[in-house]
């Protein structure tokens, strides 16, 4: 099929490259000339594992082209997939980019004779596609939905594993305005053999996406809440508790007497909170939508509240031990919101560093690849904030260390390095991945989230 994709961020580009690799003719459109130039020069504007190799391949075989020319892209394709950003504004989702894209596509459809399907892939709150997008498309095109097709096809891509998640989806959700839209959209996913195609209405598709993210985020906050109860109770370790709870075969079945260990149970581990470009923004948008729709949510509201407090609890525990943080050098092990990414958006490390700085501490952040991105949020001044990739520099003469991101590099730090390099031997393990006994054996005071 001929497909145009509007927006070449992480969702748009991954979608474009993967669909092109399945044999479709894809045109990636972005208003930013520099982004298009990069793609045409065979450089991915974002880092995503496996993406660049695949992108180069599909560009070289002519299956993917990139342009700023929306008009010719829409005119020369059968489907336009909208994959623009939907950030969280002050108190609700910001749909400006969606509205603008719908208007521009609609204006082009006015002159287009052939049937064309508009698909929303961006995460949007329920009713966005069948009200805002539909209305804007109708006004701009002078046509009625039905003359053109309309679908909502959410993505379930994890950062760092987006290509793999796209190529091997668990399910393909297609919300459709009518049967013709659905049937056309279904052809996009021919060749994704095993994945069930879920045919729902537009607003259900939108809700499925939010529910998926809200559920995962809530699991994390649930584990963190249990951790907080454990912290208040001597000799109960949340790690032991959750490990045992998730051995229930309903969470972790056995096949041929081997535990399956589904990834889901990793979301039931206590830590210093979730971050990233999706969970925080999506749960907040769902809360705001729910209130607008007439229901005041309880559980997902608490999911956000628990998550907001979680990073600061690391600081409170440190302060209890060191009494004051003023002038203390604190090493922050990990800045990215999760390992294997350079993304620091909404990372717990931001709240932790800001709180430390407010309390007069000196912060030494280390991360294998996220330093540059963190610089844009909290710049290095070399008076109170330093960044490095060398953990030894960070630990040297430190009064404390807080592990924020469970990078393999940090898990592998020899315990002697903590004891030999640090001035005061206090380590806060915000992910429960360090060797507690090994650290205690070399004299380090180990403070673990979810452990008194």
Shortest distance, position 406 Cβ to ligand UGA, whole Å: 8
- Return the residue of 24, 284, 317, 338 that touches ligand UGA, per CB under 6 A: 338
- Return the residue of 47, 88, 103, 156 that touches ligand UGA, per CB under 6 A: 156
131: how many CB neighbours lie within 10 A of its CB? 12
| Number of residues that make up the chain | 452
SS3 29: strand
Shortest distance, position 36 Cβ to ligand UGA, whole Å: 23
Q: How far apart are CA 116 and CA 121, in angstroms?
A: 16
Q: Given the rule CB under 6 A, which of 19-27, 273-281, 356-364, 389-397 is the region that contacts ligand UGA?
A: 273-281
**CB distance 387 to 366 below 8 Å:** yes
Does residue 334 bind ligand UGA (CB under 6 A)? no
Shortest distance, position 160 Cβ to ligand UGA, whole Å: 7
- Rounded to the nearest 10 degrees, the angle between the axes of helix 348-358 and helix 299-322 is 40
Tokens 């079945």 belong to residue: 253
Kindly state the DSSP code that residue 192 receives in the 8-state scheme: -
Shortest distance, position 430 Cβ to ligand UGA, whole Å: 10
Does residue 157 bind ligand UGA (CB under 6 A)? yes
Q: Given the rule CB under 6 A, which of 13-21, 35-43, 95-103, 263-271 is the region that contacts ligand UGA?
A: 263-271
Torsion over CA: 174, 176, 180, 181 (sign): negative
Catalytic residue among 18, 119, 230, 278: 278
SS (H, E, C) 269-281: CCCCCCCCCCHHH
**CB distance 273 to 433 below 8 Å:** no
Q: Given the rule CB under 6 A, which of 66-74, 188-196, 265-273, 289-297 is the region that contacts ligand UGA?
A: 265-273
The residues that bridge with 172 in the sheet, in sequence order, are 197
Residue with smaller CB distance to ligand UGA, 230 or 242: 242
- Return the residue of 276, 297, 365, 450 that touches ligand UGA, per CB under 6 A: 276
- Beta-carbon contacts of residue 86 (< 8 Å; ≥ 6 apart): 93, 94, 95, 97, 98, 122, 123, 124, 281, 285
SS3 4: strand
Window 207-246: residues binding ligand UGA (CB under 6 A): 213, 216, 220
- Return the residue of 148, 166, 177, 337 that touches ligand UGA, per CB under 6 A: 337
Residue with smaller CB distance to ligand UGA, 101 or 123: 123
Does residue 279 bind ligand UGA (CB under 6 A)? yes
Binding mask 28-67 for ligand UGA (x = CB under 6 A): ----------------------------------------
Report strand pairing: 254-255 vs 258-259. antiparallel
Residue with smaller CB distance to ligand UGA, 147 or 240: 240
**CB distance 434 to 411 below 8 Å:** yes
Does residue 266 bind ligand UGA (CB under 6 A)? yes
- Return the residue of 16, 275, 334, 365 that touches ligand UGA, per CB under 6 A: 275
Q: How far apart are CA 234 and CA 256, in angstroms?
A: 38
Q: How far is CA 274 from the centre of its chain?
A: 9
Does residue 155 bind ligand UGA (CB under 6 A)? yes
381: left (phi over 0), alpha (psi -120 to 50) or beta: alpha
**CB distance 444 to 426 below 8 Å:** yes
**Burial class of residue 189 (count of CB atoms within 10 Å of its CB; 0-12, 13-18, 19+):** middle
Residue with smaller CB distance to ligand UGA, 328 or 338: 338
Does residue 171 bind ligand UGA (CB under 6 A)? no
Residue 278 is among the residues annotated as catalytic for this protein: yes
Does residue 254 bind ligand UGA (CB under 6 A)? no
Nearest by Cα to 366 from 396, 399, 324, 325: 396
Q: Given the rule CB under 6 A, which of 20-28, 72-80, 272-280, 292-300 is the region that contacts ligand UGA?
A: 272-280
Residue with smaller CB distance to ligand UGA, 206 or 399: 206
Q: What are phi and psi of 122, to 5 degrees?
A: -55, 150
Q: Given the rule CB under 6 A, which of 253-261, 268-276, 377-385, 416-424 is the region that contacts ligand UGA?
A: 268-276
Residues forming the site for ligand UGA (CB under 6 A): 123, 155-159, 213, 216, 220, 263, 266-267, 271, 274-276, 278-279, 282, 337-338
């Amino acid at each position: 099929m001929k497909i145009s994709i509007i927006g070449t961020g992480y969702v748009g580009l991954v979608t474009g490259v993967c669909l092109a690799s399945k044999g479709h003719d894809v045109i990636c459109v972005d208003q930013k000339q520099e982004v298009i130039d990069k793609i045409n020069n065979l450089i991915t504007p974002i880092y995503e594992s496996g993406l660049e190799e695949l992108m180069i391949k599909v560009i070289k075989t002519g299956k993917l082209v990139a342009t700023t020319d929306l008009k010719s892209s829409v005119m020369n394709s059968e489907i336009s997939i909208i994959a623009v950003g939907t950030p969280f504004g002050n108190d609700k989702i910001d749909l400006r980019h969606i509205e603008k894209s719908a208007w521009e596509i609609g204006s082009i459809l006015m002159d287009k004779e052939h049937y064309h399907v508009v698909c929303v892939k961006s995460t949007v709150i329920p009713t966005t596609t069948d009200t805002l997008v539909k209305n804007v498309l109708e006004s701009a095109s002078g046509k009625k939905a039905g003359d053109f097709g309309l679908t909502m096809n959410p993505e379930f891509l994890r950062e760092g594993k987006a290509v793999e998640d796209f190529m091997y989806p668990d399910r393909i959700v297609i919300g459709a305005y009518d049967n013709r839209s659905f049937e056309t959209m279904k052809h996009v996913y021919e060749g994704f053999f095993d994945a069930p195609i879920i045919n729902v209405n537009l607003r259900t598709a939108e809700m499925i996406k939010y529910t998926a993210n809200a559920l995962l985020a809530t699991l994390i906050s649930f584990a963190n809440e249990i951790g907080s109860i454990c912290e208040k109770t001597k000799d109960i370790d949340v790690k032991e508790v959750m490990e045992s709870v998730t051995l229930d075969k309903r969470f972790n079945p056995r096949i041929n007497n081997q535990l399956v260990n589904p990834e889901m149970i990793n979301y039931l581990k206590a830590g210093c909170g979730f971050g990233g470009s999706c969970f925080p923004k999506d749960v907040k948008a769902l809360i705001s939508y729910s209130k607008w729709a007439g229901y005041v949510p309880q559980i997902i509201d608490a999911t956000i509240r628990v998550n907001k407090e979680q990073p600061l609890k690391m600081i409170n525990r440190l302060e209890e031990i060191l009494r004051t943080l003023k002038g203390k050098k604190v090493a922050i092990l990990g800045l990215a919101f999760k390992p294997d990414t350079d993304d620091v958006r909404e990372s717990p490390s931001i709240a932790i560093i800001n709180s430390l700085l407010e309390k007069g501490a000196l912060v030494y952040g280390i991360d294998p690849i996220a330093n540059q991105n963190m610089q844009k949020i909290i710049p290095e001044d070399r008076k109170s904030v330093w960044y490095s990739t060398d953990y030894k520099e960070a630990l040297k003469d430190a009064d404390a260390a807080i592990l924020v991101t469970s990078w393999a590099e940090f898990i592998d730090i020899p315990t002697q390095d903590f004891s030999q390099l640090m001035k005061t031997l206090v380590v806060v393990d915000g992910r429960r991945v360090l060797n507690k006994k090994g650290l205690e054996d070399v004299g380090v005071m180990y403070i673990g989230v979810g452990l008194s």
